[in-house]
C-alpha cells in the first residue's frame, strides 16, 4: 500500500444464528490496529446471533464488492447447515477469491465454501474432516488436521480455534508477523505471561 492510500475496510458477514465467539479476536485486534470493520448482512435488516446479540448490518451483501474490501470474514452459523440461506455468501467468497481478495472462513462457513467447490483445490481445515466430507465435496485430500490453515488468500479454521483463526488473519493482512505474531498467539491462546514483554516492546498491546 502506498503512503497516503486509504486502507480498504474488512467486511464481516453477519446473519441469524451467527456464532458470536468465532470472529471476535480477529475483528477486535484488526480494529485496534486501525482497520475499519464493516458488517455485511443478507440485507440491512437486523440479525440475531446465537448468543442473542442483535446486529444492524452496515451493508447488504449485494452492495459489497471485492475491489472495495481488504478481506471478507465468514463466521459459522447454524444456517450454514440447515438450508440455502447463506449460499449467496459462499458465492461472494468465490468472487473475492477470483479477484485475489482474501477470505477467512471458520466453522460452518467452511462447509459453505466446500459446497461451493472452493476447498477442492486448496489446503483447508474445519471442525473435523467428516463434517466437510458430508457435503460431498471433492477436496478431502486437501484437508489438514490442524488449528487453522492459510492457502493463498483463504484462511480456514474450526469452531474451537478463534485465536488461531485470528492469528492467520493478522498474518495474512500483515498486522503482526514473526516474533510479535507468535507472542500474540501465546498470550491469547496459552495465557503465557512472557508474551507481554514482546508485545509491549512492539507496541502491540
Active site residue ranges: 107
User: Shortest CA distance to 19 belongs to which of 48, 45, 50?
Assistant: 50
Q: Distance between alpha carbon 104 and the CA centroid of its chain, in Å?
A: 3
Indicate left, alpha or beta for 164 from its phi (over 0: left) and psi (-120 to 50: alpha): alpha
Three-class secondary structure assignment of 96-154: HHHCCCCEEEECHHHHHHHHCCCCCCCCECCCCHHHHHCCCCCCHHHECCCCEEEECCE
In the chain, how many H helices and how many E strands? 7, 9
3-state secondary structure of 38: strand
Burial 89-117 (b: 16+ CB within 10 A, else e): bbebbeebbeeebbbbbbbbbbbbbbbbe
**Which H or E run includes 39?**
strand 37-41
Among candidate residues 177, 23, 20, the one with its CA nearest the CA of residue 105: 23
Amino acid at each position: 500500500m502506498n503512503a497516503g492510500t486509504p486502507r480498504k475496510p474488512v467486511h464481516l458477514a453477519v446473519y441469524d444464528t451467527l456464532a458470536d465467539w468465532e470472529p471476535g479476536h480477529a475483528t477486535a485486534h484488526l480494529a485496534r490496529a486501525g482497520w475499519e470493520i464493516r458488517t455485511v448482512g443478507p440485507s440491512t435488516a437486523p440479525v440475531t446471533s446465537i448468543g442473542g446479540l442483535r446486529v444492524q448490518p452496515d451493508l447488504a451483501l449485494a452492495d459489497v464488492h471485492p475491489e472495495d474490501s481488504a478481506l471478507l470474514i465468514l463466521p459459522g452459523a447454524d444456517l450454514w447447515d440447515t438450508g440455502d440461506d447463506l449460499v449467496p455468501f459462499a458465492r461472494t467468497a468465490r468472487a473475492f477469491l477470483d479477484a485475489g481478495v482474501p477470505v477467512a472462513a471458520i466453522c460452518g462457513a467452511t462447509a459453505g465454501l466446500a459446497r461451493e467447490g472452493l476447498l477442492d483445490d486448496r489446503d483447508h481445515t474445519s471442525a473435523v474432516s467428516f463434517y466437510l466430507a458430508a457435503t460431498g465435496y471433492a477436496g478431502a485430500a486437501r484437508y489438514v488436521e490442524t488449528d487453522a490453515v492459510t492457502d493463498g488468500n483463504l484462511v480456514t479454521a474450526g469452531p474451537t480455534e478463534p485465536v488461531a483463526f485470528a492469528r492467520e488473519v493478522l498474518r495474512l493482512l500483515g498486522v503482526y508477523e514473526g516474533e510479535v505474531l507468535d507472542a500474540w498467539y501465546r498470550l491469547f491462546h496459552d495465557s503465557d505471561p512472557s508474551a507481554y514483554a514482546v508485545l509491549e516492546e512492539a507496541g502491540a498491546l
